[in-house]
Structure 1
Amino acid sequence: MKDHDSIRLIELQSKLFRLITEDDRTFDELVQSCADLLQNPIIVIDLSFYVISYSDINQITDEYWHLNCKQKFCTPEFIVQFTHLPDVVKSLDHRDSFQVNCPYSVYNKILGKIYHDNEHVGYVVMVCCQTPEDSLSEDAVAAIARMFGLRWMDSVQTTVSQLPLKEKILSGMIRGDYGSHNELTTSTQALGFRIPNEFHIVAIDIKNISDANAILDLIPKFIEGYFSDYNYLWYQDYFLAFVPVSHIESLVDVISKAYQNYNKKNQIPIGISQSLNTPAECPNGFDEAVDALKLGLDIYTSTKIFYYANVKFYKLLLNVDPIEGMKRFSDPLIIKLSEYDRENDAQLSKTFYYYLLYNRSLQQTAKTLFIHRNTVSFRINKVEQILDINLNNDELCNRMLLSMKIVFFFESFLHRTGEDQPKPIYK
């Protein structure tokens, strides 16, 4: 940094320090003062893509950010675009401020990450629509982000007070603000909606949607088509819906049938919590839905809809060293079959896994793997020959299936973390 720039930065930081030490200044006033200093609009958003605060909206001539500020939240289409921008994806590996060149707008943006108690909680966005960015822009936005981190709790209180009442109640449920249905009844009835006595939390993580361009059109239609009848909100990185227990099977059935007409990469991953009976269970329900998403994407290839009840077993394995876990918990016969596949470029393990998973049904295995029933029969006979086993033994089949689940989970984990492991054979 040149001497002249260093002096300018010190002067700017000094002005910012004076701003934050003025206790009578509200968070919104602080945002406006920072915008005046930088001669460009400033917007603050949290990780749920709610607009926390913004400077003079008349100065925000970028049409997308103008709309976001006006409605105080980002649209689903905007969130998908934002999270898939190359500059934003690269920023996940560091804490520095960064420039975003967006193909949908003529204006550059400088973003700074806001941290509170060492946790990433939001972004400062400087929209360069009044004056061009210069050599100090990123340093200036970084300094502002640090300052806003110190006043973050003030901003959160402001945001909660500005949220629509329905979203305020739903986000409060996820945070654990309500203990029973009785505590909710008065507020929800006044707003014309109710929380079912038994419900699931359904979560969608848009960051795990690989094809951003293709999904831009699908996300709004998906939400409107399947979740418009339920209470929902955007929370942190997720779209969340509260679905009655009595509706979940029919909803999943309808979505599963629709997915048959989708390209596989455009099937939106869904995580479903166990059934919940009280609002007090919502924080755990949220964690379950998110865990179902994360674990399900590692474990399953035949579906993008994951129930926590089906994956919670694998949480027990998360604290086990993968290499040691495969040695301790896997059946030697499964390792032998895996080695045979790799040496002979075969797919016996994959076929064997689904055959056991579907209670030794040749028809269902063939349907899942898109192969002929006779091919499944041939491969299963081959497995029996190689391992010298009789698959009419129920106890043996249960043991082998459990062992395969453990081995495949650890193989998938090692492959995902890049620890020089081949792609899991069952994938």
Structure 2
Amino acid sequence: MLDRLTLSAESNFVVIIVETYTFNAKLMNLFEDRLTLAWHSDSKLIKYKKQENQLVLMFDKKSENIQEEVYQQLLSMDIAHYEIYIGISEMVNQELDFPKAFDQAEDALALGKQLFSKHGKYVYSYPDMGIYRTFSMLQKEGSLDYYINPKLKKIWNTDEANKDQLIQTLQVFLDEKQRYKNTAAKLHIHWKTVKNRITKITKMTGIQLNRPEEALDIHLSLKLLTFTSEQNI
């Protein structure tokens, strides 16, 4: 594969997929030209192809901050009237061939659009997808419900009117490393309200957050719940 792409054993490259809501050849060409011009001194466009509403680029480039560089190129373009999303593979070499790097960029694009586009993020790097990379791979093997801690399911199976609120509080509480005041600041509520909600959750479910392994399991289950919920929207 490397020989066909004229890559040396020392080459480092990234695959970048640019996608627009509807095909816009002018916008695609502009973005390609901007990246090629910006990186002309230290990179080489090895391969690209255009298909429907996607532009696939492969750059021989060594950089630790590809995502930020691509984002800066987006800012320099007039894209206010277009929906544009970008998936970026990890930096790879002879140990990872083009098809696998392409899959990474494609997965980053799909996961990013699903989880982060509504928060105003449009450039997605595969390494930055974190635990969601694992969720995506597990999903390809079957249902993800199996991996959600049964104790957590007790919250949304209850008739509690504020169960969504309880789940959100637990999620933020674990994100904030079980700090009541930090959680309260994020949720714009009093820290004692956070404490009351967490106490209610632990009594309702039997979750023991003082056990590191169980806290981690619940935290991952909450992220998995977010992942599956976003897919059903």
TM-score by length of 2: 0.65
- Which residue of 1 is the match for residue 151 of structure 2? 333
- Which residue of 1 is the match for residue 108 of structure 2? 292
Structure 1 or 2: more helix by fraction: 1
- Gap change, CA 1:363 and 1:266, over 3 Å in 2: farther
Equivalent AA in structure 1 for residue 103 of structure 2:
D
State the secondary structure of the residue aligned to 1:284.
helix
- Which residue of 2 is the match for residue 47 of structure 1? none
- Gap change, CA 1:196 and 1:336, over 3 Å in 2: same
> Take 2:71 and 2:179, find their aligned partners in 1: how far apart are those partners?
25
Is the CA contact 2:180–2:191 (under 8 Å) kept in the aligned structure 1? yes
Pair 1:315 & 2:133 matched: no
> Take 2:122 and 2:158, find their aligned partners in 1: how far apart are those partners?
29
| The structure with more radius of gyration | 1
> Take 1:378 and 1:282, find their aligned partners in 2: how far apart are those partners?
53
Superposition deviation, residue 396 in structure 1: 2.5
> Take 2:20 and 2:114, find their aligned partners in 1: how far apart are those partners?
16
Superposition deviation, residue 320 in structure 1: 1.2
Superposition deviation, residue 277 in structure 1: 0.6
Q: Structure 1 vs Structure 2: percent identity of aligned residues?
A: 19
Is the CA contact 2:183–2:194 (under 8 Å) kept in the aligned structure 1? no
Superposition deviation, residue 329 in structure 1: 2.0
Equivalent AA in structure 1 for residue 229 of structure 2:
E
> Take 1:253 and 1:381, find their aligned partners in 2: how far apart are those partners?
42
Give the unaligned 5+ runs of structure 1. 1-177, 186-193, 416-422
Cα deviations by residue, 1:123-143 (Å, 9 ceiling, x for unpaired): xxxxxxxxxxxxxxxxxxxxx
TM-score by length of 1: 0.39
- Which residue of 1 is the match for residue 94 of structure 2? 278
- Which residue of 1 is the match for residue 224 of structure 2? 406
- Which residue of 1 is the match for residue 15 of structure 2? 201
State the secondary structure of the residue aligned to 2:84.
coil
Equivalent AA in structure 2 for residue 203 of structure 1:
I
- Which residue of 2 is the match for residue 179 of structure 1? 2
> Take 2:25 and 2:63, find their aligned partners in 1: how far apart are those partners?
27
- Which residue of 2 is the match for residue 386 of structure 1? 200
> Take 2:190 and 2:80, find their aligned partners in 1: how far apart are those partners?
23
- Higher RCO (CA 8 Å, separation ≥ 6 residues): 2
State the secondary structure of the residue aligned to 2:63.
helix
Equivalent AA in structure 1 for residue 137 of structure 2:
K
Equivalent AA in structure 2 for residue 384 of structure 1:
I
- Which residue of 1 is the match for residue 50 of structure 2? 235
**Equivalences for 1:16-415 in 2 at 5 Å?**
178-180=1-3, 184=6, 197-207=11-21, 222-226=31-35, 228=37, 229=39, 231=45, 233-237=48-52, 238-243=54-59, 246-249=62-65, 251-252=67-68, 255=71, 268-278=84-94, 281-300=97-116, 301-302=118-119, 303-309=121-127, 310=129, 311-313=132-134, 314-321=136-143, 325-326=144-145, 328-338=146-156, 343-344=161-162, 346-357=164-175, 359=177, 372=186, 374-375=188-189, 377=191, 380-388=194-202, 389=207, 391=209, 393-413=211-231, 415=232
Cα deviations by residue, 1:184-212 (Å, 9 ceiling, x for unpaired): 26xxxxxxxx99711221112224x6xx8
Superposition deviation, residue 282 in structure 1: 0.6
- Gap change, CA 1:202 and 1:365, over 3 Å in 2: farther
Superposition deviation, residue 281 in structure 1: 0.3
State the secondary structure of the residue aligned to 1:247.
coil
Superposition deviation, residue 316 in structure 1: 1.7
Equivalent AA in structure 2 for residue 197 of structure 1:
S
Equivalent AA in structure 2 for residue 268 of structure 1:
I
User: Pairwise CA RMSD of aligned residues?
Assistant: 4.5
Is the CA contact 1:271–1:289 (under 8 Å) kept in the aligned structure 2? yes
**Equivalences for 1:407-426 in 2 at 5 Å?**
407-413=225-231, 415=232, 423=233
